[in-house]
Amino acid sequence: MHEAFESIYQVLGKDFANAGKVSTAIKDTLKRLGVNPTIVRRVAIVSYEAEMNVVMYATRGKVLLNVSPDDVTLKINDEGPGIPDLALAMQEGYTTATHEMREMGFGAGMGLPNIQRNADEFNIDSEVGQGTRLFVRVKQI
Amino acid sequence: MTSLASSKSITLANVREILSAEVLNGDDLSVKVVEVGAADLLSDVLAMSKTGTLLLTGLVSTQVIRTAVIADLCGVVFVRGKKPGDEILSLAKESGIPVLGTNLKMFEAAGLLYTAISENH
């Protein structure tokens, strides 16, 4: 069993060229720590969708990865426009994406539902004009 | 994202032959294709694919390769003769994601692979 591990990653808004790099690094880290491949895949999908959200909508964001023998948690805090209606944003298909975001294959209103689907614990809270804070826990045991 | 079928019996080399595809990245075509899916929406791929899925897509973007890495896909086939740029191919090379290109349309490519997989059962 691996030791506890913690790391912080920065994500820059509108940096489409590097979108996904942080999540790839997180995935590599989890693999290196010997986390079960199914768990690695779930965390990577959560991280990637959340990273894309920061790139697409926010000014900047931080991703805090924490790995313990019991679970993997991700905290994604961004500075950005926030989400006025969280219940609406959680509905599959609801989106405020631009044409540019859709051309990359995202922005179809699936991100947050995809994140929730892969999470054992999911918490989101947002303040308009300030930003959004997302917490996800994926259990290892 | 449409999941076509499960198979343990076709490889990327078979896929190249079936789709008359060009290999744009990847040296080892003995990789087994667990399942085939067709999608232009990456969130659908993240939601529906399994480890080892081969993705057929008409979407040409570096995010296709990132998605393949994140979701443990076995490879990507760009359909309708779409040519991925150098940036996409160098990311694929760096990430070890096999990439094929076919002139077939998505529907035709999916249909041929569906038939091949079904016959192998």
Question: In chain A, how many domains are there?
Answer: 1
**Residue B71 distance to chain A (closest CA, Å):** 6
pLDDT above 70 (res A2): no
pLDDT above 70 (res B120): no
**Residue B95 distance to chain A (closest CA, Å):** 10
Task: Please report which helix (H) or strand (E) contains residue B47, including its range.
Answer: helix B42-48
Task: Locate the domains of chain B by residue range.
Answer: 2-119
Mutate to test the interface with B, among A53, A104, A116, A117 (most CBs of B within 10 A): A104
Q: What is the CATH number of the domain that holds A129?
A: 3.30.565.10
Which of A37, A48, A106 has its CB closest to that of B70? A48
Condensed to tens digits (0 to 9), the pLDDT of residues B32-51 reads 998 999 999 999 999 999 99
Q: What mean pLDDT is reported for chain B?
A: 92
pLDDT above 50 (res A90): yes
Class of domain B2-119 as given by CATH: alpha beta
Sheet holding B32-38, edge to edge: B2-11, B32-38, B53-57, B75-78, B99-101, B22-25
Q: Tell me the C-alpha to C-alpha distance, in Å, between residue A62 and each of A7, A31, A42, B91, B106.
A: 10, 21, 19, 24, 38
**Are A58 and A91 a contacting pair, CB within 8 Å?**
no
Core vs surface per residue A22-37: b (16+ CB within 10 A) or e? bbbebbebbeeeebee
Torsion of CA A42, A47, A53, A58, to 10 degrees: 160
Pairwise CA distance, residues A64 & A67, whole Å: 10
pLDDT above 60 (res B4): no
User: In terms of pLDDT, which residue wins out, A76 or A1?
Assistant: A76
Torsion of CA A23, A25, A27, A33, to 10 degrees: -150
Condensed to tens digits (0 to 9), the pLDDT of residues A7-47 reads 999 999 999 999 999 999 999 999 999 999 999 999 999 99
Phi-psi region at B7: left, alpha or beta (left = phi > 0; alpha = psi -120 to 50): beta
Tokens of A15: 């940096």
Amino acid found at B71: A
pLDDT above 50 (res B7): no
**Which domain does A94 fall in, by range?**
5-139
B58 at the A interface (CB within 8 A)?
no
Q: Do A37 and B64 make contact, defined as CB atoms within 8 angstroms?
A: no
pLDDT above 90 (res B5): no
Pairwise CA distance, residues A41 & A21, whole Å: 15
pLDDT above 70 (res B3): no
- Which of A1, A48, A46 lies closest to A23 in space, CA to CA? A48
Condensed to tens digits (0 to 9), the pLDDT of residues A98-137 reads 998 898 899 899 999 999 999 999 999 999 999 999 999 9
Q: Do B71 and A44 make contact, defined as CB atoms within 8 angstroms?
A: yes
The 3-class secondary structure across A29-53, one letter per residue, is: HHHHCCCCHHHHHHHHHHHHHHHHH
Residues 6+ apart with CB under 8 A from B54: B12, B15, B33, B34, B35, B36, B37, B73, B74, B75, B76, B77, B113
